[in-house]
Amino acid sequence: MMIEPFSPFLASEYQVKFAASRWEREGSHALRRAVFCAEQDLFSGDDRDGVDDYAIPIVALSMLGVAADKVVGTVRIHEEEKGLWWGSRLAVDRDYRRIGALGATLIRLAVSSANAMGCHTFLAHVQEQNGVLFRRLHWHVIGEVELMGRRHFKMQADLAYYPPCFSPEHGFVALPRKAA
């Protein structure tokens, strides 16, 4: 008898919203450390910086029925000056990247919620390997820069594709892509 290899449970839907509770904020930071410190070795020990003092964390939560189970994705947004917003520290848990909708939905809520708060320009420094995803989501490259020893694109979102979201505390639901 052949035993199937263990496959981690993946939820049937994910809620993407502003992090409201302590466990959501802590889960966001833990995920960032796992991705940017342990996996990518971009930072030593912790990736927190001064932006975390005022940035708005957004999380993707795996849902077990109506209960949130785990932070599986995150991004943060902040207003640098009136109307100029930045997104940064986009991360999806390694075991959940195959879901396919999490990164895009985090980006969508980031830009749409900033748009509702008076954003006229939304920017991000995007690692080169993620440029294709952002281009697909109506972002364009406005420059290139090396950060943490890696090539990044300075990209700008086309706000016409991101209608304002006035209820980011409820956010959006991300559904896994169907297998082809």
Residue-wise pLDDT tens digits, 101-158: 999 999 999 999 999 999 999 999 999 999 999 999 999 999 999 999 999 999 999 9
**In 3-state terms, what secondary structure has residue 62?**
strand
Structural domain contains residue 113: yes
Q: Does residue 180 surpass a pLDDT of 50? A: no
User: Would you state the pLDDT for residue 100?
Assistant: 78
Structural domain contains residue 86: yes
Structural domain contains residue 76: yes
Q: What whole-number distance in Å separates Cα of residue 120 and Cα of residue 117? A: 9
pTM reported for the whole predicted model: 0.91
The two tokens of residue 81 are 């000056």
User: What value does the CA radius of gyration of the chain take, rounded to a whole number of Å?
Assistant: 16
Number of CB atoms found within 10 A of residue 102's CB: 24
Structural domain contains residue 1: no
Structural domain contains residue 6: no
The two tokens of residue 101 are 């909708």
Domains contained in the chain, number: 1
User: Which residues form the domain of 149?
Assistant: 14-174
Structural domain contains residue 8: no
